[in-house]
Amino acid sequence: MDIDMGNYPLRGWQELQRSLLKQLPLPAGHGEIDRFVQQTIHGYLRHALPYAHDRHADEEDDLACELFESQQHIYVRCPVPEPLAVRDFRLSVSAGSLRIEFPGAVQEVRLPSPVVPDQAVAHADARGIEVRLPKSREPTVYREIAIRERDGGA
């Protein structure tokens, strides 16, 4: 399959989508192909990237948050769906997860690396809310646990 991305990456994605739709067996009578493909990919990613999809909210109420990682930070970008506003959201973070609360739902995003909660910052713009979480430089400390044998075999 030759896809010419050229200077237009969107055109490349559209060619890829057309090619995939020719090869995918779609369910009979399914009129909303885009929704079907989106749900299929969403379901796959949920299993492939479980840290990014810990949920307490219903599937319908779920935000389509994106998670990006650099060497020093983890970024989480979430859209603000209408009719909600930025003031309707509440964010909290621990070393291993970001909790997003909004009317009627709570979503938890497990993070791929430990972060420093005290240094987290969030900004909002027309595209949504972006949270920057600095990665922890502290190594994970493991403590050895001694195993003791019990007398009497029980």
What's the count of helices (H) and strands (E) in the chain, helices before strands?
A: 2, 7
- Specify the pLDDT at position 11: 64
Question: In whole angstroms, what is the distance from residue 74 CA to residue 96 CA?
Answer: 11
More confident residue, 26 or 18: 18
Q: Exposure pattern of 70-81 as b/e (b: 16+ CB <10 Å)? A: eeebbebbbebe
Indicate the domain borders of the chain.
Answer: 7-48, 51-139
- How would residue 133 be classed by pLDDT, with cut points 50, 70 and 90? very high
Q: What is 51-139's CATH number? A: 2.60.40.790
Considering just the CA atoms, what is the radius of gyration of the chain in Å?
21
- How would residue 111 be classed by pLDDT, with cut points 50, 70 and 90? very high
CA atoms within 13 A of residue 87's CA, in its CB half-sphere: 0
Mean residue pLDDT across the chain: 77
- Specify the pLDDT at position 49: 55
Q: pLDDT by residue (tens digit) across 28-72?
A: 554 556 666 666 666 665 555 544 444 443 445 578 899 999 999
